[in-house]
Chains A and B, each alone.
Chain A
Amino acid sequence: MEISTAIFYLVAAVTVGSAAMVAFSRNIIHSAFSLLGTFAGVAGIYVFLGADFVAGVQVLVYVGGILVLILFAVMLTHRITDVQITNRSAGRIPGLVVVAILFVLLVQSIGETPWAKAKEVVYKATTASIGDLFLGDYLLPFELASLVLLAALIGAVVLARQEIKE
């Protein structure tokens, strides 16, 4: 087995394993920290797919941003002294059954579908080309995205600081 293939399986295992922790852990803090493994693993997978820029964005935004946000939210909504930092689940068995059926079907369709093949699989730095695309073909969505982010920013502030009168 080649070393790169071995590393791929290692990364894949970390990703899937920590995702499973997110799904099954009883403690919400554990879940949140496992999410770190998943996000980092997905970033690694991006690297394997030759998407260096997306991998960077993944680390910056997910690990640096969203994860911290989630941890903050967990801390703010649970008193640390509270013993009940548990993460209650309900309806595990039916959930498991439905998801298992779905998984089988997904894998089946992945196997059966004749996926299109690119002429050649290339690995090269993508940042410059992505920059060109953002300021070229995707200029309008790019600008709209900034508006969406601004709206989300304002919306989050308004929602979070709203005083609720009993």
Chain B
Amino acid sequence: MDHPIQTDYLRWIVLLPLLGAVWNGLLGAQLQKRLGKWVISLFACGPVVGSFLLSVAAFQDLLSREPEQRFLIDRVYPWITLATLNVDVAFWVDPLSAVMILVVTGIGGLIHIYSVGYMHDDRSFWRYFAFLNLFTFAMLMLVTADNLLLMFIGWEGVGLCSYALIGFWYHDHVNTRAGNKAFLVNRVGDFGFILGIFLIFWSLDHHGHATVTFREIQKFVSLLQGQEIWGIGVITLATLFLFLGATGKSAQIPLHVWLPDAMQGPTPVSALIHAATMVTAGVYMIVRLHFLYSLAPLTLHVVAFIGLATALGAATIALTQTDIKRVLAYSTISQLGYMFLGAGVAAYGAAIFHLMTHAFFKACLFLGSGSVIHAMGGEQDMRNMGGLRRHMPWTFLTFTVAVLAIAGTPLTAGFFSKDEILWQAFSSPHGTPLLWFFGVVGAGLTAFYMFRQLFLVFFGECRANHHVKEHLHESPAVMTLPLVVLAVGSIVAGWIGAPAAFAPMFGPNLFAAWLEPVVGGRHEAQGSATLEEILMVLSVSVAAAGVYLAYRMYFKRSLSPERFSSLANGRPYRLFFNKYYVDEFYQSVFVDGALKLARVGAWIDEHIIDFIVDGSAKTTAFVSWLNGLFDNYVIDGLVNAVADGTFWAGGKFRKVQTGNINSYLYVILGAVIVVIIVKLRYGS
């Protein structure tokens, strides 16, 4: 870690997508008109694939080195050099960011290719790909930045692209509103993030080590221990601020409200930005700064609690939704909650592991749902679907695999990563069995709502009208191929991180070993492998129970969903269905509150201020009438006298203005002489 290896190709991983974005952004409209959409596709997918190949090269490079030396850096140029502060535009790749760039460019590349098919009929094809490439650029910058400032630029960049792509079909007002909402909610989080950066910078400056570079922060972080501000530890406060940023970007309670609305964007965008990559930035940031979080136990508790609350809350909402993409959106929020739960019990490796496997199966689910929506001609309500497995075999197959993965079916990727988090929540020094218990409940809910979706969409009778039915078709190969790749990934991606119990089958836990130089070793303490296996069986049985319930309710239809929705007078159901009324709460408190405040202000303006103004105006009018009399006779007289005097004096003095330089000089000289004399006589 101390001796980073200089390279000069890392920058191209980041910059290639930017080149694609600039090219398509500036020339795309013309190219599309003159040469057709294939040129756009080429210049959009090419750079991302190139980035992916370079990322693989970087990965190979890391593999070939000793674990302690797996650290590449590419300094492009010194950006800010101010006293002791040195900020470079530098990109680094260590085991952690290597995982991230492989996910971003790999899954991002697949989604780019998929988009070629999905967006084929869109007039703004070029604009879509320009933004998608720009997003990839910003996301890569976020994960490879070697300092907080550069990371913040990437952070804001992905937010901007997310905004632009949510509102991509801007002709519909609903979409632009959703974009605005995402952007505004993110602002709240970004505010926290930037405060966190300032706080770290400011408190390190106290020790003479003003820096925002990750490695240096890690080196000097021990100086901050014990330092307090307003009675709170600086590290705790800074990490809380940063976590606020993470809740915004990663859609955690209380800033989760934007993600479901973000589904207004094109479905591949939902897959790339709002499932696989951008929303995981918060998790990445926490893991990247794990050395800060590990020193702030309070923050870790908050992170774990928020993560668990989000995981459960979003899962319960997902039970009731009928929009195919909204179910997936809440599922994403819920899964992100699991990642934060992992990070909150200091199991950073497990969080990143789940991030990676989740990227595979959630991208697969979104792209699969995109394929369905494509085939249904834009229909998104699951109540109008059904029986699609006969019409879209590939989509069905891949979607099923992904559902199995997210539900935690043994041997799939989701099983390993989720169980790793649950096990850590149970056994890590920061974890408790209670966290594990609620996590398992959430896993059961996940299994239920995912299978509910699977049964509603692909099984049973088709409930669409005959007009849609006639057009049902499997998507073209350019769309199904990425689906197949992602589905395969949804299974095998987990094998590299299998726990010890599965060692005979999949070998040792390579993933944990890979991340160990960055985030430290996996907690193996407390509880034996047997206990781990028992807990695993328990969580699988809970998930199986969820699947069985879904099977009874939506496949066999032997159990009416109404029996559950009408429990306790249907109150819980309405609560879930209306997403705990959070949107309404924000609307009434923040939005209406602001409006109400404005109305109060307006009333005060109208009645009190205006009264004072009117009153003073009348008083003024009276006074000025008096004044006028005084003016005419007293002031004017004086003024005229002064004016006459000035006029007379000017007449005398204008002779001084001779236009002759010499005479001016005499005056200056005289003054200088006087000054010198005074200085000589009276100066000390």
Contacts and interface: CB of A to CB of B under 8 A. Distances in A.
Interface string A91-102: 100100010011
Interface in A3-59: none
Nearest to A94: B666
Contacts of A90: 662
Contacts of A91: 662
Contacts of A129: none
B82 interface: no
A105 B662 contact: no
A108 B673 contact: no
A94 B667 CA distance: 12
Interface string B670-684: 101100110110000
B666 A102 contact: no
B662 to A, nearest CB: 7
Report, as a range, how many residues of chain B touch the other chain. 10 to 19
Contacts of A109: 676, 679-680
A94 B676 CA distance: 19
B67 to A, nearest CB: 45
A102 to B, nearest CB: 6
A98 B679 contact: no
Instruction: Specify the main secondary structure of chain B where it touches its partner.
Output: helix
Contact of A102 (B662, B672, B680): B672
B598 interface: no
B683 to A, nearest CB: 9
B679 A102 contact: no
A98 B666 contact: yes
Contacts of B666: 94, 98
B662 A101 contact: no
A78 B662 CA distance: 22
B222 to A, nearest CB: 38
Contacts of A102: 669, 672-673, 676
A71 to B, nearest CB: 23
Contacts, number: 22
Interface string A67-102: 000000000000000000000001100100010011
A98 B669 contact: yes
A105 B680 contact: yes
A120 interface: no
Contacts of B669: 98, 102
Interface in B627-684: 662, 666, 669-670, 672-673, 676-677, 679-680
A106 B672 CA distance: 11
Interface in B73-111: none
B231 to A, nearest CB: 46
- Most interface-central of A94, A98, A112 (chain B CB within 10 A): A98
Given A90-B662, A91-B662, A94-B666, A101 B673 contact: yes
Report, as a range, how many residues of chain A touch the other chain. 10 to 19
A68 to B, nearest CB: 25
A108 B680 contact: yes
A101 B673 CA distance: 8
Contacts of B676: 102, 105-106, 109
Interface in A99-129: 101-102, 105-106, 108-109, 112
A97 B676 CA distance: 16
Nearest to A109: B680
A112 B680 contact: yes
Contacts of A106: 676
A129 to B, nearest CB: 26
Nearest to B670: A98
Contacts of B662: 90-91
A98 B673 CA distance: 9
A98 B670 CA distance: 8
A145 B218 CA distance: 46
A105 B670 contact: no
A49 to B, nearest CB: 25
A105 B669 CA distance: 12
Nearest to B666: A98
A101 B669 CA distance: 10
A108 B681 CA distance: 11
Nearest to A108: B680
22 contacts: A90-B662, A91-B662, A94-B666, A98-B666, A98-B669, A98-B670, A98-B673, A101-B673, A102-B669, A102-B672, A102-B673, A102-B676, A105-B673, A105-B676, A105-B677, A105-B680, A106-B676, A108-B680, A109-B676, A109-B679, A109-B680, A112-B680
The 7 closest A-B pairs by CB, nearest first: A105-B676, A98-B669, A102-B673, A101-B673, A109-B680, A108-B680, A105-B673
Interface of B: 662, 666, 669-670, 672-673, 676-677, 679-680
Given A90-B662, A98-B669, A109-B676, 19 more contacts: A91-B662, A94-B666, A98-B666, A98-B670, A98-B673, A101-B673, A102-B669, A102-B672, A102-B673, A102-B676, A105-B673, A105-B676, A105-B677, A105-B680, A106-B676, A108-B680, A109-B679, A109-B680, A112-B680
